[in-house]
Copies of this chain bind each other. A is one copy, B any other.
Amino acid sequence: MNQDYIILMEKLKKINAYNMALVLFQWDNATAAPKRAIEHTAEAMGILSDAYYRALTGDDMSALLQRLNSASDLTPEQHAIVLKTAEMYEEIRLIPADEYAAYQTLLAKADGIWQNAKLNNDYASFAPVLKEIIAYAKKFAGYKAQARNYSGPLYDMALDGYEKGFTTEVLDEFFEKLKASIVPLVRLAVKNHALVDNCFNFRRYDIELQKKISRKLAAHIGFDFDRGVIAESAHPFTTSLHNKDVRITTAYLENNLESAMFSTIHEGGHALYEMHIDDAFTCTPAGTAMSMGIHESQSRLYENNIGRSRAFWEPLYPMLKETFPEQLRDVTLEHFVKGINQCVPGSIRTEADELTYCLHIMVRYEIEKMIFSQEIDVLDLPGVWNDKYEEYLGLRPQNDSEGILQDIHWAGGSFGYFPSYAIGTAIAAQIYDHLKKVMPLDQYLAEGTLTPVSDYLKEHLHRFGASKPTMQLISEMTGEPFNPDYYIQYLQEKYTKLYSA
């Protein structure tokens, strides 16, 4: 084996160990740690981040990667790992070590502050830390723009961290297109709202029983409990230590049946991706999805395209009805499937229906553009947020907990992340269309046989990890480039049928 590659792998093992420790602390803070733990834990996380940073940016790394980049004796897998490591290296070395460590410590603290602010509807307590995070995010984007000699919008550099090629120019056009097709459909749904009922969703559903249902749904789509766990947190998320330790969380609400079920299917879709990544890539920088958009395509595919279809629920609905016989006594399968596809504009993104979802993303996209293009006062943001909700969704959030404080992303410094949700949703529709062409998908779903679906996705997508660019993965799998028209067509067909009197 190439001697330089052996040296690189030794370094990557170290880098991976520090990263795994950080991922575990983040998971633990969200799911298990006592409230006051962060008072001392944040500092330890800062030190581990610093160790990670130093291991990745060590003196000899640059020359090593350069030599490996031009080496001719690497396998394609090894080459992909070198490329992905180089990308990470280039990204992180833009940031000075002390700023990187201080930023990580800040984020560790911000998580608890955000959680409390959300709990107590107290945006003012979160604002100072948000201000600091924004200052870092803009500074880091500036470093990248400078290194690339990029003179376009600063926000493009934040977006680049999540989805290459999707600049504000591209996204403005993409969102305009979505808006033009979604808004008329939402109007139709609001006008004919009486056609779809989901009152059953808000009856009282015992949380212990909901947990059992969540586990069954996860297992049904292929979640492997020997390689993964489900826990609870304020905001559902997926995290992965490696392909044999993939973790999802769900938040259970007693008066909402759909919430936990569909967030479990959603995070389960993410989890399948991580569990299926090849052993050749796991524990290396190529051991995750290439981009947030392609990751999100899998959660959305399972949650919506598959998970809200009639065929999917045919074998499952009897089990659900048996679990909640009183609550679902008067609800037929037809009724249920219509209900879980109901479109009602609301203030919570994670509770949004499939049709209005991208409008929530547009609000965040536009606020992030604003944050990166001008000096804003963080105390003005809740007002901007609420105004945009009124403009796009026709409602004002009742308070900041249900408004600007609802998402964890900004507390985690993830500016530029939100658009990936919309991109991923569009990719999901393209893949869903493709699946229907290559296999009798509805028949499999109706039989309760989801293994052919996850096997196909593993073979043609998941196993590659970050070894191929997103757009290449889509082309090779579906036979054509990324095309958001599938998504628009899917929404038009589905919602015209559902809401036509």
Give residues in A with beta carbon < 8 Å to B: 13-14, 16-18, 20-21, 24-25, 28, 31-37, 39-41, 43-45, 47-48, 51, 208, 225-229, 231, 241-246, 282-283
With A21-B21, A229-B33 in contact, do A242 and B47 touch (Cβ < 8 Å)?
A: no
A41 to chain B, nearest CB (A): 6
With A24-B25, A25-B21, A34-B227 in contact, do A242 and B48 touch (Cβ < 8 Å)?
A: no
Q: How many copies of this chain does the complex contain?
A: 2
With A225-B34, A226-B36 in contact, do A17 and B48 touch (Cβ < 8 Å)?
A: yes
A399 to chain B, nearest CB (A): 25
Q: Tell which of A28, A31, A44, A48 has the most Cβ of chain B within 10 Å.
A: A44
With A34-B246, A208-B208 already in contact, 8 other A-B pairs whose C-beta atoms are closer than 8 Å: A13-B44, A20-B41, A24-B24, A31-B32, A32-B32, A34-B244, A37-B241, A40-B241
The 8 Å CB contact of A282, one of B21, B40, B47, B51, is B40
- Whether the pair A48, B21 counts as a contact (CB closer than 8 A) is yes
Closest residue of chain B to A36, judged by CB? B244
Chain B residue numbers with a CB within 8 Å of A245 are 33-34, 36-37, 40-41
- Whether the pair A41, B241 counts as a contact (CB closer than 8 A) is yes
What would be 16 A-B contacts, judged by CB atoms less than 8 Å apart?
A14-B51, A17-B45, A20-B41, A21-B44, A21-B48, A24-B24, A24-B25, A24-B28, A33-B229, A34-B226, A34-B228, A34-B246, A35-B226, A36-B227, A40-B283, A44-B283
- Whether the pair B244, A40 counts as a contact (CB closer than 8 A) is yes
Give the CA-CA distance A24 to B26 in the complex, in Å.
11
- Whether the pair B244, A39 counts as a contact (CB closer than 8 A) is yes
8 cross-chain pairs, A with B, having the tightest CB-CB distances, nearest first = A37-B245, A17-B47, A21-B21, A17-B44, A36-B244, A40-B242, A20-B44, A35-B226
Chain B residue numbers with a CB within 8 Å of A227 are 34-37
Closest residue of chain B to A208, judged by CB? B208
Chain B residue numbers with a CB within 8 Å of A21 are 21, 24-25, 44, 48
Closest residue of chain B to A228, judged by CB? B34
